[in-house]
A and B are shown apart, each in its own frame.
Chain A
């Protein structure tokens, strides 16, 4: 019994019976398959984070994002008064996460690829692109670059999913894809 010392003193010499050997073999094989799925997806899959990131000072990042928004602003959003920015395909796109907004609103084109920069001005935030359900952690002092290719047209929301204080549940942004 498991609550008493093993009855056979030399328990490590006991032969392991077949069921257990078979199960360990199956489980180990499955564990290896799961391991290889991760490197495999880097070659064969279309959803991999680049892990390209830079240390950045929040003020410098904000300045860059503001210049970017000023350059490519197409209109103002009626409900929030936030600038709607339409960057050229393939370009660097900057988004600011701060208490409690995602700034600015982006307008992207379906099938085009963008270098989306994400950084926080204050605490950590969670970039959750819905209804796609793509989730990326946003840190202050880190500029994370994600190369995104929208595959569907429509209105997408960015909901903050890292707790960031009392207004956390109001932190919603938008991306329009045409």
Chain B
């Protein structure tokens, strides 16, 4: 087969973009956004049902919508977008042809067909088993089949990414080491391969069980292996969105990482100290020892947590450093005050960094402690936590990148630039509050995945405190605000593609960028760097983290004795 070596030069960035890669990135990104819309609508329906005064859906539709919501946003939206990021971080950043574009289309079709098959199974109503599909609750065989096909497609995309790295090395399209962003994407791809392997190990037997070829599947073993997929898949998201953070810091500010060594080591910690971790989700299950639970969740050192805390300093640190180089040197925070808060690519990025750390990060580590999980497991606190990671962390970071990437790839102006300014705030703050209210309700014992906490048609009943009802109502309002933000994003992206004005070539921009690159790229080595603002913010984060962690131990100490 002839190799397509056609490139175009991007007028905004000067990057040489391989045409087949360009097309694949576009299609994967657009498909991702479509599924974000579908999954988002289901999510809104879920939040409105859990708003006691609204209680939108019937029980069967509620559980159906909840299953579809998890599937379409957590799996389909995020992974389609991550495939686009993998192709971008390899082919575009290394200015290299993409390996086997035809296989990229096979991957795309497998993922799309898989996503559609599973969606049909769920919408049919016989597979409302939730995203986690815990056995022995059984879904129709096509529910599992669709997910398996989707995963095979994603696996192919990872191999294409790796192949592209090899081509770039062989064809010497870059000098020295791959860029940090590509390194982060490589981390994500390596974890993804492990993750998909774990997924295959559990979902293929489950498919066979659903068809009737396998007699039974052990319920604890299912979770041990399923979560080896489920837990590390979240680390794919973290690695991917942190790469996006570094990319946005570089694109928006010309920021250089404080230290390549530290940032790369932090990514490496994700690979070395997270694989086959799954016990975070099994801390109150029978049949597993405490030693196993403690070791599997922490690897004795919590080095994956350390990795994230390092990025938490180095990403804003890189921005501060770049801003100070530009002369924004006054006091502790002039660099931050004078950041482009009206640019959605920046505001989305900034909110994503802060909320991922404070909402998703702290809560996740806290509830992953063996004993603390007793007061958290399966309460609404858990969705509160992961809306703090995958929604205001990952999704918001991806949205921020899209604000830059979509106009650049399509060479069109944003459709609604005025609304776009507000979008990250609406979506980020709306979903951030939803995350907080869910966590709050969870600490009052409100269960997750539950249609009616007033127990209206139950024989025996439990009365939740009024505060729980208030939080569920506030969660509904917050989700509505976030939903409006999400809708504006989708509208803006689709509008830009279909109706956006063609961009006028702007050579001045490219020149400016080379100027900005010069001084920043050479200076800023060890010794010259000072990021007092970022360090102060990091200390505030650490103190919050420590206080919150021990508040929860104190809370645990007050419940019934268990031994």
Contacts and interface: CB of A to CB of B under 8 A. Distances in A.
Interface of B: 59-60, 63, 93, 130, 134, 136-137, 174-181, 218-220, 246-247, 249-251, 254-263, 282, 284-290, 294, 298, 300-303, 305-306, 309-310, 313-314, 317-318, 365, 369-371, 373-379, 443-445, 447-453, 455, 457-462, 464-465, 517, 520-522, 525-527, 529-531, 534-535, 538, 542, 545-546, 549, 553, 556-557, 559-563
- Provide the main secondary structure of the chain B interface: loop
Interface stretch (A59-67, A68-76, A85-93, A168-176): A168-176
Given A28-B306, A34-B365, A142-B220, A17 B286 contact: no
A113 B450 contact: no
A5 B174 contact: yes
A53 B556 contact: no
Interface string A26-54: 11101110110111011001111111010
B537 to A, nearest CB: 11
Contacts of A126: 377-378, 447
Given A6-B180, A161-B450, A169-B455, A134 B301 contact: no
Nearest to A11: B260
Interface string A133-173: 11111011111101111111000010111111110111111
B177 A139 contact: no
26 contacts: A2-B318, A4-B521, A5-B178, A16-B526, A17-B526, A27-B305, A31-B305, A34-B305, A35-B301, A38-B298, A49-B284, A51-B289, A77-B460, A118-B286, A123-B136, A134-B374, A137-B286, A142-B219, A144-B286, A157-B460, A159-B450, A169-B453, A170-B458, A172-B455, A172-B461, A174-B460
Contacts of A168: 63, 449-451
Given A23-B535, A50-B563, A38 B60 contact: no
Nearest to B442: A133
Contacts, number: 318
B459 A79 contact: yes
Contacts of B176: 5-6, 9, 11
Given A49-B290, A147-B562, A14 B371 contact: no
Nearest to A5: B176
B59 A27 contact: no
Nearest to B288: A51
B134 A162 contact: yes
A107 to B, nearest CB: 14
A53 B174 contact: no
